[in-house]
Amino acid sequence: MNRIYSILFCLLTLSGLAQEKTITEVEVIGLKRTKLSFIEKIIEVNKGTVLDTVLIQRDIRRLKRLISIANATYLVAKNNTDSTCKVTYMVEENLTLIPQVNIWTVNDKLSYSVGLYEYNLFGKNIKFGGFYQDNGFDSYGVSFKAPYLFSKRLGIGINYQNWTSEEPLYFDDLVANYEYNNEFFEVMGRYQLTYKNSIELGANVFTENYNYLNGDNSVDTNSIPLSLEQDKSMLKFVYTHDNLKYDYYFLAGFKSILYFQSVATEGNFDDLFLIGWNDFLYFKRLGLKGNFATRIRLGVATNKESPFAPFAVDNNLNIRGVGNTIDRGSASVVWNLEYRHTVIEKNWFVLQTNLFMDAGSWRNPGGSLSDIVDEDNFRVYAGGGLRFMHKKIYNAIFRIDYGYGLTEETNSGGIVIGIGQYF
C-alpha cells in the first residue's frame, strides 16, 4: 500500500511540473513617459522564469505604488501547444508635472505658496522641483528624490530649504511671537529591505534663527530672548512598513512609518536632543464608494522645559479647526478618523465628501506623561469637507475641511484648505 501511495505522489508531482509554464515574454503596454527599462528593473517577473501569479500580483501592487502609475492590471496568455506563456502588464500613467498653489490667511495676512514638481523625471520616477512661499516672509526650497537611482532597492534624496515664518513660543501662560528661520541641507539614502519594508538613513545640517517680533502686553521682553541663532546637525532614520493596496484614489490595508531623529547643537554635542514618533495608518474599502481611514500618531522627545518643544498642535499637522500652532509639547498622541465617500465619478473627475474626527493631547515641556490625560490639554474636533480630485494627475486632490471643537476648552471652529488627502 505504501508503494501505491508513493507512485501516486510521484505521478501528482510530475503532473504538477508538467503544468508549469515558462514565461517567454513580458510585455508592458500603456507606457508614455515612463521608461520600459525602469519598469523592467523594478519588477520581479522576467523572461525565462516559471509562471508565478503571486509574483505577478506583487508586481502589480508595486507598479500601483509608483507615482507615475495611476492603475495597473495583467494578463497571462498560455500556449496550449507547449509549456510556455506570455505575461502582459497593462498600465495607466499619471500626469506627473504638477504645479502647487496654496492660499491662506494667518493673523489677517494673505499668504501664498507656489511650486512646480516633476515626479517622473527622465521617465524613472525621480522627483525634482521647488517652491516659493510668501507669508509675510520669503521661503523657498528645492527637492530631489530618486528612490530607485542605483537599483530597484537603493536610492537617494537631497533637499535644500530656507524657511521663514512667524511662530508663537510659549513662556508659562504668556505668548511671544518670533520670526523663525530654518535653513538646511539634507541627504538621505533609501534601501528596500523587502517588498513591504524599507529604511531611510541620512543627515541634515541646519541653522535656526529666532528674532522677537511681539507678544502679550504683559510680556517683559527683558526676561525672554530677543534673538537666538544656533547651528545644528541632525541624524535621521525612517522605517516604513507598507502593505497598502491601491485602486486609483481608494486605499486598503495597513501602513506604519517610524521616524527617529537626534539633534545636536554645534559646540555642545553633550546636549543631545532625541525625537521619535510613529504613524499607524489603516484603510478599508466600504462598498463601492466608501473608504474608511484612520491614523494614530504617537510621539515622544527629550523632555526639556523649553518653549522650543518639537510637537506642535496645529491645523495643518494634526487637528483640523484647532488653529495655527496653538501649543507645543514634548510628547504627543493624535487620533484621526475619516469616512470618505465618492459622490461623483465621471471619467477623470471625482468629488468626495468627508466626515472626520480629530483628537489629540500632549505633554507640556518639562511635564509628566500624565499631562496626556489632562483635560486642559485634550482637544477633539469634528467636521466635514469636500475633495475635488483628478484620477490621472498624481496627488491632484484639493481638499477643504471645517472642524468644530467639541471639548470645553474649545467651542470654536475653523477651515483648513490644502492639497492631497489630510493623511
Question: Is the domain of 120 the same as that of 85?
Answer: no
Q: Is the pLDDT of residue 220 over 80?
A: no
Summarised one tens digit per residue, pLDDT across range 121-166 is 999 999 999 999 998 899 999 999 999 999 999 999 999 999 998 8
Beta bridge mates, 168: 177
Reference 415, options 389, 380, 387, 384; nearest CA is 384
Reported as a pLDDT band with limits 50, 70 and 90, residue 222 is: low
What pLDDT, on the 0 to 100 scale, is given for residue 102? Answer: 78
b/e map 257-277, b = 16+ CB within 10 Å: bebebebbeeeeeeeebebeb
What pLDDT, on the 0 to 100 scale, is given for residue 100? Answer: 85
What pLDDT, on the 0 to 100 scale, is given for residue 32? Answer: 95
What pLDDT, on the 0 to 100 scale, is given for residue 221? Answer: 54
What pLDDT, on the 0 to 100 scale, is given for residue 414? Answer: 86
What pLDDT, on the 0 to 100 scale, is given for residue 217? Answer: 55
Pairing verdict, β 174-192 and 154-171: antiparallel
Domain extent, residue 273, equals 97-419
Average pLDDT in the 65-82 region?
93
What pLDDT, on the 0 to 100 scale, is given for residue 167? Answer: 83
Q: What is the CATH number of the domain that holds 83?
A: 3.10.20.310
Beta bridge mates, 165: 180
How many structural domains comprise the chain? 2
Choose from 44-53, 108-117, 171-180, 221-230 the range with maximum mean pLDDT: 44-53
What pLDDT, on the 0 to 100 scale, is given for residue 225? Answer: 75
Reported as a pLDDT band with limits 50, 70 and 90, residue 9 is: very low
Of 75 and 316, more confident: 75
Question: Is the domain of 380 the same as that of 312?
Answer: yes
Last residue of a domain, one of 76, 93, 110: 93
Question: Is the domain of 238 the same as that of 320?
Answer: yes
Summarised one tens digit per residue, pLDDT across range 286-337 is 999 999 999 999 999 999 887 778 898 988 889 999 887 888 899 999 999 9
Last residue of a domain, one of 63, 93, 123: 93
The pTM score is 0.85
Question: Is the domain of 40 the same as that of 185?
Answer: no
Question: Is the domain of 77 the same as that of 102?
Answer: no
Reported as a pLDDT band with limits 50, 70 and 90, residue 1 is: low
Question: Is the domain of 259 the same as that of 114?
Answer: yes
Last residue of a domain, one of 93, 128, 148: 93
Question: Is the domain of 159 the same as that of 28?
Answer: no
Within a 13 Å sphere around the CA of 96, how many CA atoms are in the beta-carbon half?
23
Question: Is the domain of 59 the same as that of 116?
Answer: no
Average pLDDT in the 260-286 region?
90
Question: Is the domain of 170 the same as that of 65?
Answer: no
Question: Is the domain of 109 the same as that of 184?
Answer: yes
Question: Is the domain of 184 the same as that of 53?
Answer: no
Question: Is the domain of 80 the same as that of 200?
Answer: no
Q: What is the CATH number of the domain that holds 214?
A: 2.40.160.50
What pLDDT, on the 0 to 100 scale, is given for residue 12? Answer: 43
